Amino acid sequence: MALAGFLLLLGTRPSGLPSNIFPAHVQDLSNGELLFHAGGCASCHSSADADSELPVLGGGLAMETPFGTFRVPNISPDPDFGIGEWTQSDFITAMRLGSSPDGRHYYPSFPYASYSRMTFEDLMDLKSYLDTLPWAQNRNEDHELKFPWNIRAGIGLWKILNLDPSDVIVMPPDNSLLTRGRYLVEGPGHCGECHTPRNMSGGLNNGRWLAGAPNPEGEGKVPNITPGAKGFADWSQDDIAYYLESGFTPDFDTVGSSMVEVQENMAQLPAEDRAAIAAYLKQIPALQ
Amino acid sequence: MSRIFISVLLSSVFITGAAFAGSDPIKARQHLMEDTRDAAKVVGGMLKGEQPFDADAAMAALKTWQKTATEAGDLFPEGSETGHDTEAKATIWTDRDGFNAAMEKFSTAVDAAIAAKPDSLDALKATAGPVFKTCKGCHEGYRVEKED
């Protein structure tokens, strides 16, 4: 049994991607910036005390969870303290496989299970954009997790159970609005990480996709955003797009809690991307 | 003499009224927030182009917000942390300075909007827009998100 467990962990060791599988790509910094907002990178990775027009991604935020305290890392382009030395291959491996350049598993508090759906081209543009941001020269403390979650090797098992880059919801492939919305929501937007409840293994319960979940940060609830009666049944597609743009519900209540930063990121996207997200959310299975 | 008596009597009625409202600050602030949202519907409907611009209705809405800005801060006393399904977050009491600062931004923006006496849709956009931005200032860190 112990041997079998050892072999299983051995088989789930982190691995990188061979660099020859990446497509030839002309970098597009504005696309990288769009994905930076869609992905909400700054919401977690911003330095608290940064005094800059541009985002300073020094990290340091302490995320208190039932598993212990996660500390968000420095992903600024500083070569010593951040990820400036990373190759495109290192970055894509981190985002799609959840593994670090030195061969360690990342904890899924870094939502790579969603980012694994991002295209190589988009990830290359995002890395190019991150490289243009200010350097942050600070090292952050390590995570402080409780047993058994402090054993990183266990994440290999988590990945086998929960890391699946395929689409969650089937959409008509010829409808570019819906497939774009699906890409943004299921991939970079990582909406499911909070709006979908988790199963016993800590992965998303896709049978309850976006149907609302307990608030991982404490009291309250993350709302149902399916077309169900407790979700967006009474909201039009335009209502959802307007909410993402302005922060106002159709009743002129406002966005609150952690969604404020998310909404402000969504407000930076082109209007057609907000419309695509709204169209997708009106199309997914209505759950109560 | 009788005039003084009557004014004393009247003010005691008002004080009693205020004290009565104050005896249930959670209900009082919930009503205040409903009025605030109703006023936001009026202004927001105009900004979205769903309602025609109406200077008097806009000013009435701004005055409603001013009432909120004046009264809301006092409706979160110690001891009103729980009950009536309140959405008030504990941070209001643990970070009162931050909460007051967020309220103050709302209050300042509302006063500026009223002073500007918006007489066109563009003027309303320019003055009510900044007020709208301050709503999130309190709802981000001092409100618990619950289901309706």
Residue of A nearest to B135 (CA): A254
Q: Do A197 and A64 have their domain in common? A: no
Q: Which of A254, A261, A263, A264 to mutate to test the interface with B (most CBs of B within 10 A)?
A: A254
Query: Domain containing A248 — which CATH number?
Result: 1.10.760
What's the rounded Cα separation, in Å, for the pair B115 and B132? 16
Residue of A nearest to B44 (CA): A252
- A vs B, Cβ pairs < 8 A, gives 51
- The CA-atom distances, in angstroms, between A166 and each of A95, A161, A178 are 15, 13, 16
Q: Do A97 and A196 have their domain in common? A: no
Contact A221 B147 (CB under 8 A): yes
The CATH number of B25-141 is 1.20.120.10
Domains of chain B, residue spans: 25-141
Residue A221 maps to a domain: yes
- The CA-atom distances, in angstroms, between B123 and each of A71, A93, A144, B54 are 45, 51, 52, 12
List, for chain B, all residue ranges whose pLDDT scores fall below the cut of 70. Answer: 1-23, 147-148
What's the rounded Cα separation, in Å, for the pair A71 and A140? 7
Contact A220 B140 (CB under 8 A): no
Contact A252 B44 (CB under 8 A): yes
User: Nearest 5°: phi and psi at A63?
Assistant: -100, 110
Residue B144 touches chain A, beta carbons under 8 Å: yes
Residue A123 maps to a domain: yes
pLDDT at A220: 81
pLDDT in tens, B25-65: 999 999 999 999 999 999 999 998 999 999 999 999 999 99
Residue A252 touches chain B, beta carbons under 8 Å: yes
- Residue that finishes a domain, picked among A116, A137, A162: A162
- Which chain B residues are Cβ-neighbours of A255 within 8 angstroms? 136, 139
Q: Do A244 and A140 have their domain in common? A: no
Residue B82 touches chain A, beta carbons under 8 Å: no
Greatest Cα pair distance in chain A: 59
> Quick one: tokens of A16?
């990188």
Q: Do A190 and A259 have their domain in common? A: yes
Residue B3 touches chain A, beta carbons under 8 Å: no
Residue B34 touches chain A, beta carbons under 8 Å: no
Q: What is the average pLDDT value for chain B, to the nearest integer?
A: 86
Element (H, E) at A63: strand A62-65
Q: Do A151 and A181 have their domain in common? A: no
Q: Do A132 and A25 have their domain in common? A: yes
Residue A233 maps to a domain: yes
pLDDT at A168: 98
- Residue that finishes a domain, picked among A162, A192, A213: A162
Contact B144 A220 (CB under 8 A): yes
- Which chain B residues are Cβ-neighbours of A212 within 8 angstroms? 147
pLDDT at A15: 72
Residue of A nearest to B86 (CA): A220
> Quick one: tokens of A97?
């496989």
pLDDT at A157: 93
Element (H, E) at A145: strand A144-145
Residue A227 maps to a domain: yes
Could you list the residue range(s) of the whole structural domain that residue A81 is in?
15-162
Q: pLDDT digit of tens for each residue in chain A (288 aa)?
A: 555 555 555 557 777 777 777 788 889 999 999 999 999 999 999 998 777 889 999 999 998 888 899 999 999 999 999 999 999 999 999 999 999 999 999 999 999 999 999 999 999 999 999 999 999 999 999 999 999 889 998 999 999 999 999 999 999 999 999 999 999 999 999 999 999 999 988 899 999 999 999 987 777 889 999 999 999 999 999 999 999 999 999 999 999 888 999 999 999 999 999 999 999 999 999 999
Residue A170 maps to a domain: no
Judge contact between B135 and B41, C-beta under 8 A. Answer: no
> Quick one: tokens of B43?
């202004």
ipTM, two decimals: 0.77
> Quick one: tokens of A144?
């402080």
Q: Which of A73, A71, A112, A108 is nearest to A93 (CA)?
A: A112
Q: Do A205 and A129 have their domain in common? A: no
Residue A260 touches chain B, beta carbons under 8 Å: yes
Q: Do A22 and A69 have their domain in common? A: yes
How does DSSP classify residue A135?
P
Residue B40 touches chain A, beta carbons under 8 Å: yes
Residue A168 maps to a domain: no
Residue of B nearest to A217 (CA): B144
- Which chain B residues are Cβ-neighbours of A253 within 8 angstroms? 37
Residue A216 touches chain B, beta carbons under 8 Å: no
